[in-house]
Structure 1
Amino acid sequence: MKRLQFLQALAIAFGMAASSASLAQGYPNKPIRLIVPFPAAGATDLFARTLGQKMGDKLGTTLVVDNKPGAGGAIGSDQAAKAAPDGYTILLATTSTHSIGPAISKLPYDTVRDFTPIAHVGDAASIMLVPVNSPAKTVREWIDYAKKNPGKLNYASSGNGTIVQLTAELFKAQAGVFVTHIPYKGTALAIPDLISGKVDVLFDSLPTGMPHVRDGRLRALGVTSLKRSPLAPELPAIADTLPGYESNTWFGFYGPKNLPADIVAKINKAANEALADPEVKEKLARLGIEPAVPGTPDQFAKMVAVDAAKWKKIVVDRKITNE
Structure 2
Amino acid sequence: MTFLRPTRRTLFAASLALPAIARAAEPFPSRPIRYICPFPPGATNDNVSRTMARALQARLGVPVVVENRAGAGGAVGSRFVADSRPDGYTLLNASAGNLTIAPHLGAVGYDPLTAFAAVASAGESFSLIAVNPKLPVRSLAELIDYGRQHPGELNYASAGIGSAGHLRGALLADEGGFEAVHVPFPGSAPAATSVVTGDCHVMLDPITAPHVVSGRLRALATLGEDRWDAFPDLPTAGELGVGRNWPSGGWFALFAPAGTPPEVVARLNRAFNDALGEAEVNAALHRFGLRPVALSPDVLAERVAADHAATGLALRRLSIA
Scaled by the length of structure 1, what TM-score is found? 0.79
**Separation in 1 of the partners of 2:195 and 2:232?**
23
Quick one: structure 1 residues 210 and 137, their matched pair in 2 at CA, closer, same or farther if it must change by over 3 Å?
Answer: same
**Separation in 2 of the partners of 1:176 and 1:81?**
39
Deviation at residue 297 of structure 1 after TM alignment:
1.0
Alignment partner of 1:177 is 2:174: no
Q: How does 1:11-90 map to 2 (within 5 A)?
A: 26-90=27-91
Match of 1:87, SS? coil
Quick one: structure 1 residues 23 and 176, their matched pair in 2 at CA, closer, same or farther if it must change by over 3 Å?
Answer: farther
Match of 2:260, SS? coil
Quick one: structure 1 residues 148 and 281, their matched pair in 2 at CA, closer, same or farther if it must change by over 3 Å?
Answer: same
The answer (yes or no) to whether the contact 2:131–2:203 under 8 Å persists in 1 is: yes
Match of 1:263, SS? helix
Across the aligned residues of Structure 1 and Structure 2, the Cα RMSD in angstroms comes to 3.0
Deviation at residue 110 of structure 1 after TM alignment:
1.3
Aligned partner of 1:297 in structure 2 is: 297
**Separation in 2 of the partners of 1:235 and 1:296?**
32
Deviation at residue 148 of structure 1 after TM alignment:
4.5
Count of residue pairs brought into register by the alignment: 298
The answer (yes or no) to whether the contact 2:247–2:314 under 8 Å persists in 1 is: no
**Separation in 2 of the partners of 1:188 and 1:92?**
18
Alignment partner of 1:238 is 2:237: yes
Quick one: structure 1 residues 86 and 167, their matched pair in 2 at CA, closer, same or farther if it must change by over 3 Å?
Answer: same
The answer (yes or no) to whether the contact 1:33–1:90 under 8 Å persists in 2 is: yes
Match of 2:118, SS? strand
Quick one: structure 1 residues 175 and 298, their matched pair in 2 at CA, closer, same or farther if it must change by over 3 Å?
Answer: farther
Deviation at residue 189 of structure 1 after TM alignment:
5.4
Q: Give unpaired runs (5+ residues) of structure 2.
A: 1-22
Give CA deviations for 1:80-114 in whole Å, capped at 9, x if unaligned: 22222222222212222111110112011111122
**Separation in 1 of the partners of 2:25 and 2:229?**
38
Match of 1:28, SS? coil
Match of 1:240, SS? coil
Deviation at residue 43 of structure 1 after TM alignment:
3.2
Q: How does 1:161-310 map to 2 (within 5 A)?
A: 161-183=162-184, 194=195, 199-206=200-207, 209-241=208-240, 242=242, 243-245=244-246, 248-286=249-287, 288-310=288-310
Quote the sequence identity (%).
35
**Separation in 2 of the partners of 1:127 and 1:211?**
11
Scaled by the length of structure 2, what TM-score is found? 0.80
Deviation at residue 187 of structure 1 after TM alignment:
5.7
Aligned partner of 1:99 in structure 2 is: 100
**Separation in 1 of the partners of 2:203 and 2:285?**
23
Quick one: structure 1 residues 157 and 117, their matched pair in 2 at CA, closer, same or farther if it must change by over 3 Å?
Answer: closer
Structure 1 range deviating more: 147-156 or 168-177: 147-156
**Separation in 2 of the partners of 1:57 and 1:197?**
42
**Separation in 2 of the partners of 1:55 and 1:150?**
49
The answer (yes or no) to whether the contact 1:225–1:246 under 8 Å persists in 2 is: no
Match of 1:96, SS? helix
**Separation in 2 of the partners of 1:312 and 1:87?**
29
The answer (yes or no) to whether the contact 2:123–2:294 under 8 Å persists in 1 is: no
Q: Give unpaired runs (5+ residues) of structure 1.
A: 1-21
Give CA deviations for 1:257-316 in whole Å, capped at 9, x if unaligned: 122222211111111111111111222233x23143111111111211222223322322
Quick one: structure 1 residues 310 and 171, their matched pair in 2 at CA, closer, same or farther if it must change by over 3 Å?
Answer: farther
The answer (yes or no) to whether the contact 1:158–1:186 under 8 Å persists in 2 is: yes
Match of 2:174, SS? helix
Deviation at residue 175 of structure 1 after TM alignment:
3.0
Match of 1:239, SS? coil
Q: How does 1:143-154 map to 2 (within 5 A)?
A: 143-154=144-155
Quick one: structure 1 residues 232 and 58, their matched pair in 2 at CA, closer, same or farther if it must change by over 3 Å?
Answer: same
Quick one: structure 1 residues 263 and 138, their matched pair in 2 at CA, closer, same or farther if it must change by over 3 Å?
Answer: same
Quick one: structure 1 residues 310 and 174, their matched pair in 2 at CA, closer, same or farther if it must change by over 3 Å?
Answer: farther
Quick one: structure 1 residues 220 and 316, their matched pair in 2 at CA, closer, same or farther if it must change by over 3 Å?
Answer: same
